[in-house]
Structure 1
Amino acid sequence: MFKTCLSLFALAVLVACSSEPADAPETQVRKTLTLIEEAAEQRSLSGIMAHISDDYADHQGYDSKQIARLAQLQIMRNQKINIFTLIRSIDIENNVASVELSAAMASRDTDLSLESNRLKADAVKFSVLLKREDRDWKVHSVAWKQGW
């Protein structure tokens, strides 16, 4: 539990240290990604899906219902979900955000802030497309591949 809190604290510090004001689009996108990560670590399907658009569609042909089923399967399979993310870039134009990030994921209580532990975890590169829906940023599409 302590290690998970430490990882979440490190992520929160990265978000808080952003030079952008709290209502700036980049800050809001970072917050949305943090909330998704926290929901996954808390194994909260509703928390994850609160940030997924009803119009979700990705390169695998998945829609929001299929993403919910995949998330539920991971929650059922893993009593512990630990994630460490590194945002590589965020580009925002006309209420559309393209985010490149890497994530190390483990189903055990491991301090993924340590590089040696990340090397043992499942590493995935994500390309995430978010769009502003009313006042919220929602995930519309995700592409992923193995690797850090």
Structure 2
Amino acid sequence: MRTSHMWWVAGPLALGGLVLQGFGNAEADNPFQDPLGLLGMLLVILPLTLALNVTMRRRRDASGESSPDSVEFRAAQQARSKAYGDAVILGAVLFLLLTIVADTVAALTAMAFMTLAVGAFWTRYRLALRAMGA
């Protein structure tokens, strides 16, 4: 499927989602009390996100940026690495802050985020090493 065709499908779906949100209950306390608003939100977010992701990937592949030898690839890898480290540190600060200021559930949620983030990294790292034969 061509990229322009994806945008021709994603655009009307997003507009339909906006219309559904307009018919939804604006005074609902949470999204599950407003099924039209929730469906509308999903129709706006999902098609546009998927179309943007595919478009960016195709442009990177066409320009050669996704090649492991390119400068862009190495810069993106370094930026992802540093952003992950920043996210872990900010997660720890958030956990400490929520432990002091908020209730137990918020602190446990922050702790679960940190555990899952670090666990996901190590799982992916071990799988990558296994795939490389190390």
Select the structure with the greater relative contact order (CA < 8 A; seq sep ≥ 6): 1
Same fold (TM over 0.5): no
Q: Going by fraction, where is helix more abundant, 1 or 2? A: 2
- Greater Rg by CA: 2
Q: TM (normalized to structure 1)? A: 0.26
Q: Going by fraction, where is strand more abundant, 1 or 2? A: 1
Q: TM (normalized to structure 2)? A: 0.28
